[in-house]
Each structure stands twice: as C-alpha cells, then as structure tokens.
Amino acid sequence: MSTRNQGPDLSPGLRSDLAAAVGPDRLLTDPADCWPYGYDNSRRHALPQAVVFAADGEQVERLVRLCAAAGLPLVARGRGTGTTGATVPDRGGVVLSFERMNRILRIAPADRLAICEPGVVNADLQRAVGAVGFFWPPDPTSAAVCTVGGNLAYNSAGPRAVKYGTPRENTLGLAAVTGRGEPIRTGVLTTKGVVGYDLTRLIIGSEGTLALITQATVKLTPLPEATRTLRAAYRDIHAAAAAVSAIMAQPVIPCALEFMDGAALAMVRGYAALDVPAATGALLMIEVDGPAACIAGAVTAVADAARNEGLLEVGHARDEAEVAALWRTRKALSPALRQAAPKKINEDVVVPVSRLGEFIDGLERLARETGIRIVNFGHAGNGNIHVNLLMNPDDPQEMARARTCLDAVFSLVLGLDGTLSGEHGVGLEKRDFVAREIDAPTLAVMAAVKQSFDPAGILNPGKGLPSE
C-alpha cells in the first residue's frame, strides 16, 4: 500500500547539511536507494526523501537538531519488521536507520545486565548473553531479524512475557536523544531505584515519537536449568480458554502458553506435521522452566490445571527434536495465512485472561454476521490474541465487511476491559482508534508530553496518537 509523502523537498543545501551531520558515506538521497527504507511489514510504503545511517549518539544529536530547524520529519527504523506502519515515512522526511549501530558494548553477568546499541538483532544479543548463562526475556517471533531498538519502540515481547514480562520490565535504563537534539539518560544500573520520573518506561513503547534510543541497558535473567514442553488438545476453543484461566490461577507460571484455534490448526496442517486427535478444535502449547530438581512437579501441576471435560489429549515432548517440531507448527502459521487469502488484517488485541471465553464467543458471532473468516492464535497466558481477518482486497464488498468486522472487534475488546494492542504498537494502523480506549483528558496529557520532548513535532509525526 503506497502512502503519499507530504514533506518539504530536500534542497541542495539541506542535503549538504545532512552529509555534514553524519558523513557523506552514511547518506542516501537517490530515490532508488531510499525506496527499500520506506516500508514495514504492514505492507504500507512511502518514499523517504533521505536515509541516514548513524554511527553514534553524537551523529543522532546533530541530525535531530538539523531536522528540527528545517521542520523535516525524522523516522527511526530498525529492520522494518513492524506491522503497524510506525516506520513508514508517510509525511516524507528522513529515515534514520539504526542498522549500523549494532554493537554490544558490555555484558556484566555479576550485575545481570548488558548494554547495547539499538541496531543489535535480538537473536544476536541472546547468543552473546547465552554464552555466559543468561537471556533477555523479550523473544518476538521475528527475533532472528528484529532489533533491540525495535523491541523497545513497540514494547514487543513474545511468548515468554507470560512469565518474564515485556521490555518495560526487562530494561534498566536508556540513552536517548529528544526532539530538541538533547541527549538524555534514563533509569539506573540497579534493579531498584526511585529517583526522578520513570522516563525509561515512558520512552519504551512510544514508537520513536518522544526520543530516539541510542543505547539500552537491559536486565538479564539466568538461563533455566530445565525446560519441558507440553501440548494439550481440546474439543473446542472454549475448553482451551477455560484451561488457560485454570493454568494462570495456580502457582506455577509457565514460561510460554500459546494457543491456536480450529481454523489455525486447519491451515497449518499443510505446512507442518500435526499429530493431534481428529476432533481437535483448539491447541495449547505450554512450556515450563525452572530448577532441574523441581521441573517434574511443575510440569505435573500445569498439566493437572490443563485438564477439563473438553481435554482430548496432553502430550509431552520427549526430546529437542519434538520440541522443535512443536514450535515449527506455531511458526508455520504466518506463511499459512499468507497463502489462505490475498490479504489479512492481523490485530494483536488483549483481554483479561478470565474473559477469553467471552472474547472467542464474540469473535465467532462476528464471523457469522459479517461473513469474514477469522483465524485466532497467540499468547493466551497474557490474553494477547492475534485476531486475523482474511479477505480478498479485490472484492469491494468483502473489504467493506472486513472494515465493519474490524470496527466491531475493537468494540468487543474494549467492552471486555481489554486494550487494542499488546505488542505490535499503534503506528498508522490503529491510530484512529486510540481515542476509543483513551479518554480526552488523558490524551491531552500525552500530547503535552509529546510537545515537551519534541516541540518541533519532527519525531515520527502522526504516529501513535490521534491526529488533531
């Protein structure tokens, strides 16, 4: 999807200033060179007027000051794996790619922390800290290619968030540059600290609209001694939802609790071996970790909680090959969905775990009423459900029904005390729905915060909050 640019043209003088700010070898202005930096995984695209590859925080400061003086939009970008259009330069301007700021600066096992630049790929950080016995809990499905900076910008978490939390709970501090071009430091190097306002958590999840992160101090967790993987098959999604509530109500918290509904299971059969009972209408994938001496009891407790009248089978992965096969099933969903329909709308809404059953009932009703096929999977332990609406973009009537269905999905979520986004962010895709969830006085406070951080309004303008 193309989005029209609205930014000012780059004059020769401005090009020269940009080159002086970061170096001519770190600047692209030819449209053909800039083209690949105008998209993200939302399939939106807009051509930036320039692309800059910063090398350090000082270059970011100079770039921000230059853009602020020129009124030029500045959009931060990791690897473009986001799904909401947050890194699409829809108003033109400069895309600041952090892909060359990819150094791990320090790993301190004794203090359980690591310091890295925003362009470090999540999987690379995991390998580096894993070598000394630790991990960083955020593990999005795109961990092999997404960056730490992108994870922080969206507060992207993944399956392990059910036990270990999101980037907000696993980041100690940041170095960042505000929209004034001023460097700031937030947070502490300790796990406790209450001096000043918590700007770390404010900047995380702000999608590059408040400040540009140039360094992150992340909190590390020791690798568990043992991990066990279970798979529970249920007659229908309601039995699975009841099991999720029961599992989350007992003391042993799984490190992953994923689910797929019947439609998702039907799709994935063509992409991965799926040995489940024929009557399976929903599947839970459960991981439990902890000390080796306690793992058997923890698995038993979780398996017992998973049992109800709708359970068809509980299976344990016997070795690493079976574990890998189970997770391939989950990861096969995305390509399967791409093949199932020409277009999908993928929403990552969240409802309280206790209301998952009501939510699924509502989604089934909406599918019947609108004639739109809905496929559901996601992080059930957090109530974070990826709701996929499948449609044909060349059918105007079906697209109209899909928009009606999406509107009703959001109303259903908010009616169940949920939120419109769990980890994919807001960007452009959900911006116009934000006012349904956040009241006007609260939005006014957020706008004032934005004005304080970015008085010229150049940092990723038009994203995250409703347009005035």
Going residue by residue through the chain, which has 468 residues, state the pLDDT in tens, using 9 for 90 and above.
666 555 556 889 999 999 999 999 999 999 999 999 999 988 899 999 999 999 999 999 999 999 999 999 999 999 999 999 999 999 999 999 999 999 999 999 999 999 999 999 999 999 999 999 999 999 998 999 999 999 999 999 999 999 999 999 999 999 999 999 999 999 999 999 999 999 999 999 999 999 999 999 999 999 999 999 999 999 999 999 999 999 999 999 999 999 999 888 888 776 666 778 889 999 999 999 999 999 999 999 999 999 999 999 998 887 888 788 777 777 777 767 777 778 888 899 999 999 999 999 999 999 999 999 999 999 999 999 999 999 999 999 999 999 999 999 999 999 999 999 999 999 999 999 999 999 999 999 999 999 999 999 999 999 999 976
Domain 12-97 has CATH 3.30.43.10: yes
Q: Compute, in degrees rounded to 10, the torsion defined by CA atoms 217, 464, 164, 380.
A: -160
Confirm if 175 and 57 have CB atoms less than 8 A apart: yes
In the chain, CATH 3.30.70.2740 sits at 335-424
State the Cα–Cα distance between residues 140 and 330, nearest whole angstrom.
Answer: 13
Strand positions, DSSP E, 235-270: 256-261
Residue 139 to residues 71, 188, 234, 357, Cα–Cα distance (Å): 36, 23, 27, 26
Tokens representing 73? Answer: 């939009």
In the chain, CATH 3.30.465.10 sits at 104-222
Q: 258 — phi, psi (to 5°)?
A: -105, 155
The residue type of 427 is G
- The predicted pLDDT at position 188 comes to 96
CATH code for the domain defined by 104-222? 3.30.465.10
Tokens representing 397? Answer: 């009537």
- The predicted pLDDT at position 273 comes to 62
In the chain, CATH 3.30.70.2190 sits at 226-333
Q: Half-sphere exposure of residue 349, counting CA atoms within 13 Å on the CB side?
A: 33
State the Cα–Cα distance between residues 391 and 337, nearest whole angstrom.
Answer: 11
- The predicted pLDDT at position 326 comes to 76
Confirm if 460 and 205 have CB atoms less than 8 A apart: no
404 exposure class (CB count in 10 Å sphere: 0-12, 13-18, 19+): middle
- The predicted pLDDT at position 211 comes to 98
- The predicted pLDDT at position 322 comes to 79
Confirm if 226 and 346 have CB atoms less than 8 A apart: no
Strand, coil or helix: 388: strand
Mention the CATH class of domain 226-333. Answer: alpha beta
CATH code for the domain defined by 335-424? 3.30.70.2740
In the chain, CATH 3.30.43.10 sits at 12-97
The residue type of 462 is G
Nearest to 118 by CA among 152, 154, 82: 152
Q: Can you state the angle between helices 356-370 and 237-248, rounded to 10 degrees?
A: 160
- The predicted pLDDT at position 1 comes to 62
Nearest to 119 by CA among 85, 145, 156: 145
- The predicted pLDDT at position 4 comes to 57
